[in-house]
Structure 1
Amino acid sequence: MPISDYTLSHFTAGPYTRPVYRRGTGPAVIVIHEVPGLHSQVIEFADRLADAGMSIWCPSLFGTPGAAPTKGAAAVQLFLNICIRREFSAWSGGRSSPIVDWLRALAKQAHHECGGPGVGALGMCFTGGFALAMMTEPSVIAPVLSQPSLPIKGAKAGSIDATPAEIACARARFELEDLSLLALRYKSDALVPDARFRRYEREFPGRVETIELADEDARPGTGMAPHSVLTVHLPDTGPGKAAEQRVIGFLQQRLGVTAGA
């Protein structure tokens, strides 16, 4: 289903107004796109979530919505829209990006409109860690971090893009509300090193489920090193496809959606 078949609106919170594309019914999932933007393969993934019984909210934070993903577009967006824009904290650990405040407000609105026990939040690539920081919003109950690639600085030492207060809030909620975190990556991905995933496990013991894929699990022939678990490198079969199915199942379980809905 192309992006033109999604319902478009604009949501404002604080200093930010961004377009939001919506499809589906049921409890809400905020799908936060990767670099280079809300591209066609992110929409295809969102389609599968909608078909699985969820209301999908896709904000467009940068890039051209609906465009095909390319290396050139990714490089442009990386420089122009992420590394220098104030909405994003690309370089330093121990803090979240300012745009996360807007995403928390969007999650609150999505829960108000869609109901259910809460909202799922799924980030990818440079937005991968946003779903964790969003947990200071009480409606967010199902965080998914796909190839979380920020911050750049300190990645090999286990840096993550969340403040100590946000980490403490998530840790408390995981225990008090019996919640958990799902995180996915390719093991060879230099943007998502081992230390980052081991940090998640230390911060949230017993509350993190990790899916770590081998290069041979990725879709071949993309011309890119394995990175995008749920889009560019998603294969049709095997462990890579099973990872997507686990994401869908995790969201359905947490949001109270009947499998096959």
Structure 2
Amino acid sequence: MSAAGEHRDDAITDFSRRLVEMDGKVKTVWVGGSGPAVVLMPEMPGISPDVLRLARWVRDAGFTVYVPSLFGTDGAVPMAEAGREVVRRACVSAEFRAFAGGGTSPVAVWLRGLARLAHAECGGPGVGAVGLCFTGNFALTMALEPAVIAPVVNHPSLPLDDPAGLEVSDDDARAVRDRIARDGLKVLAYRFDDDRWCTGRRFAAYRALLGDAFDGRVLPGGSANPAPPPFFRDVVGSPHSVVTAHLVDEDGHPTVKAREEILAFLAGRLT
């Protein structure tokens, strides 16, 4: 379990840093491992040490993991004031649709291109997409790319102002629903029961859209790490990040079980 004062920046020395261009837009992507590809998207406020810990677990489970840098400072411990500023910038960025009525975030197009590239480089039956928090729903809209066959939606927080909403346009929602039904895909999802950013109403909206293809799993909030980094303690303010900041790395713990279920889901679809 993490304890206050133990949080340290991550130098990211065990991943390759690449600059990837899609449709004229260049982003940093951290890549490591071998085997089928998994695109792991960061949570707010960036590619934190906890996100990198998850990336290493995915890598060490036999996958090539691609971690795109979408906001924040790569490797930095999420601090409160710096994290608030990252959120403010993201909410007004043209790449994201943080509020209700905005539709699908445009960055999803770039991420689908990354999935195509990853599939071409790694082969296999397809690509996994793992979203976290601000990027949680991106794993679903990435399924509009045929290469994506294993979407994992972790504690999706958008739209921020509508706890029963989904960050997706009506047209994309219908297209995603039809693609998942046509190809027999499953969508794995996680949240804590007392998460104020990803409520039961949000999961109900996913279920209404996807039916039995949506496998939403809920953990007790009391099992969350009580000493997460400052951004999660002071800004998020509730159990939220099931397999990153609020994970308790102890055998048999509910959050570790969730991590193992995600890895098994990826293996079942991609290997």
- Scaled to the shorter chain, the TM-score interval is over 0.9
Is 1:226 matched with 2:235?
Answer: no
Q: For 2:179 and 2:24, how far apart are their aligned partners in 1? A: 28
Whether 2:21 is the aligned partner of 1:12: answer yes
Q: Equivalents in 2 of 1:16, 1:149: separation in Å?
A: 25
1:159 aligned residue (161, 165, 184): 165
- The alpha-carbon deviation at position 213 of structure 1 amounts to 1.2
Distance across 2 between alignment mates of 1:138 and 1:169: 12
8 Å CA contact 2:195, 2:221 repeated in 1:
no
Q: Counterpart amino acid of 1:55?
A: T
CA deviations over 1:88-146 (Å, ceiling 9, x no partner): 11112461111111001000000000001000011111111111111111101111111
Runs of 4+ in 1 over 3 A off after TM superposition: none
Most deviating of 118-127 and 235-244: 235-244
The structure 1 residue matched to 2:52, chosen from 36, 43, 46, is: 43
The corresponding residue for 2:207 is 201
Counterparts in 2 of 1:244 and 1:169: CA distance versus 1, 3 Å:
same
Instruction: Give the letter aligned to residue 136 of structure 1.
Output: L
**Per-residue CA distance 1:64-99 (angstroms, 9 max, x = gap):** 11111222232121112x111111111124611111
Give the Cα separation in 1 of the matches to 2:11 and 2:122. Answer: 23
How far apart are residue 2 of structure 1 and its match? 4.8
In structure 2, give the amino acid aligned to 1:111. Answer: H
Q: Any idea what SS the aligned residue of 1:211 has? A: strand
Count the aligned residue pairs.
253
Given candidates 91, 112, 127, the residue that maps to 1:119 is 127
Question: Which structure 1 residue ranges, 5 or more long, are not aligned?
Answer: 257-261
Shift, 1:190, TM fit:
1.2
- Which position in structure 1 is the counterpart of 2:268? 253
How many percent of aligned residue pairs carry the same amino acid? 38
**2:195 counterpart letter in structure 1:** D
Aligned counterparts of 1:3 and 1:96: Cα–Cα separation in 2:
31
Contact conserved, 1:147 with 1:229, CA < 8 A, in 2?
A: yes
Q: For residue 255 of structure 2, what is the aligned residue in structure 1?
A: 240
**Whole-Å separation in 2 of the counterparts to 1:254 and 1:163:** 27
1:22 aligns with 2:37: no
- SS state at 1:83 partner: helix
Q: What is the letter of the counterpart of residue 158 of structure 2?
A: L
Q: Is this contact kept in 1: 2:196–2:238, CA < 8 A?
A: no
Deviation at 1:182, TM superposition (A): 0.7
Q: TM-score, normalised by structure 2?
A: 0.89
